[in-house]
Amino acid sequence: MNSVRVRELVIGEGMPKICVPIVGNRRAEILKMAKEIVNSSADMVEWRADWFESVFDLEKVVEVAVELREILRKLPLLFTFRTKAEGGEKEIEPAHYRELLLAVAATSDVDMIDVEAFFDDDIAQLICDLHEKGVVVVGSNHDFEGTPSKEEIIRRLCHMQDIGADILKMAVMPQKQSDVATLMDATKEMVSGYAQHPVVTMSMSEMGIISRLEGQLFGSAVTFGALKKTSAPGQINVEKLKKRLEKVNNLV
């Protein structure tokens, strides 16, 4: 498996990197959260732009991206519009989704862009176009209904790789404790047998917290923590997360 370098951060080597999402509705709130994250143990930042009230105004989105870069300095920035179908705040048409992601990629202020791998049939072309803008693409899939079989999880992650994603991300919802084990087992098999790029997986909710804490043991390269407001069920405080990751790292 090859690691991915984003600014000074190497994803796919050593301890899982901590990503802290920004989930503000207004520009001032977004920038305030960014300033707080800079002083935390975060390794990277995700701007969940589907929370932003003006996300369909491309000019305002670009303005905020520029301001975020000034605040975050060397911290890598991941831009995400999570669709309603995969747990996000808003719905979006495929043409607008493409236009938004390409406009943000063109700024050079965003380092990575999340692309939902199963959003429509033209995702492979969108990923290709984003690569031409020089951004790292995180292919993603979020299943809030349950946890697919190990084989299906691996199939979806392989599909992300096949369509050109640089980082492969999947989040699932456990209905029983064995679902968490299924996700971790699938990740381990994906990393050891199929992945050419970093893999990021998590089992959501309180039941799946172990997957956020011990990713290094089964191969997940990034984990998501929170300062105050969470962007997904089961996220824990970034500082507590950092301490737990360091303890696991000392055992490896």
Which of the residues 17, 32, 96, 169 is marked catalytic?
Answer: 169
Instruction: Give me the pLDDT at residue 20, please.
Output: 96
The 10s digit of each residue's pLDDT in 159-198 is 999 999 999 999 999 999 999 999 999 999 999 999 999 9
- Give 49's strand partners: none
The 10s digit of each residue's pLDDT in 39-61 is 999 999 999 999 999 999 999 99
Residue 169 annotated to the active site: yes
d(CA 198, CA 2): 7
d(CA 175, CA 49): 29
d(CA 81, CA 167): 16
pLDDT 10s per residue in the chain (252 long)?
789 999 999 999 999 999 999 999 999 999 999 999 999 999 999 999 999 999 999 999 999 999 999 999 999 999 999 999 999 999 999 999 999 999 999 999 999 999 999 999 999 999 999 999 999 999 999 999 999 999 999 999 999 999 999 999 999 999 999 999 999 999 999 999 999 999 999 999 899 999 999 999 999 999 999 887 655 666 788 999 999 999 998 877
Instruction: Give me the pLDDT at residue 177, please.
Output: 95
208 close to 220: Cβ distance less than 8 angstroms: no
Instruction: Give me the pLDDT at residue 233, please.
Output: 64
Question: Rounded to whole angstroms, what are the CA distances from 25 to 61, 66, 169, 189?
Answer: 12, 17, 25, 39
Residue 142 annotated to the active site: yes
Residue 2, both tokens: 């090859």
pTM attached to this predicted model: 0.95
174 close to 147: Cβ distance less than 8 angstroms: yes
Nearest to 153 by CA among 130, 136, 174: 174
Which of the residues 17, 142, 150, 242 is marked catalytic?
Answer: 142
Q: Within 10 A of 168 (CB to CB), how many other CB atoms are there? A: 28
Sign, Cα dihedral of 228, 230, 234, 236: negative
Instruction: Give me the pLDDT at residue 231, please.
Output: 58
